[in-house]
Amino acid sequence: MNIFETSDSWSENLNPLIEKYKGKKHPLEYNNIYQLMIMVILSAEDSDDNINKIAPA
pTM of the model: 0.44
Please give the Cα distance from 35 to 30 (Å, whole number).
6
Domain count for the chain? 1
* Residue 3 within any structural domain of the chain: no
43 domain residue, yes or no:
yes
Query: Is 25 domain-assigned?
Result: yes
pLDDT at 2 over 70: no
Question: Would 2 be classed as within a structural domain?
Answer: no
Q: How far apart, in whole angstroms, are the C-alpha atoms of residue 3 and residue 16? A: 11
Q: Residue 48 to residues 2, 7, 16, 33, 56: CA-CA distances in angstroms?
A: 27, 35, 24, 16, 13
pLDDT tens string 14-43: 888 888 888 888 788 888 889 888 888 887
In a domain, 48, yes or no: yes
CA dihedral 37, 26, 56, 35 (to 10 degrees): 20
Give the count of beta carbons closer than 10 Å to the beta carbon of residue 33.
8
Supply the range of the domain harboring residue 32. 10-54
pLDDT > 70? residue 5: no
5 within some domain: no
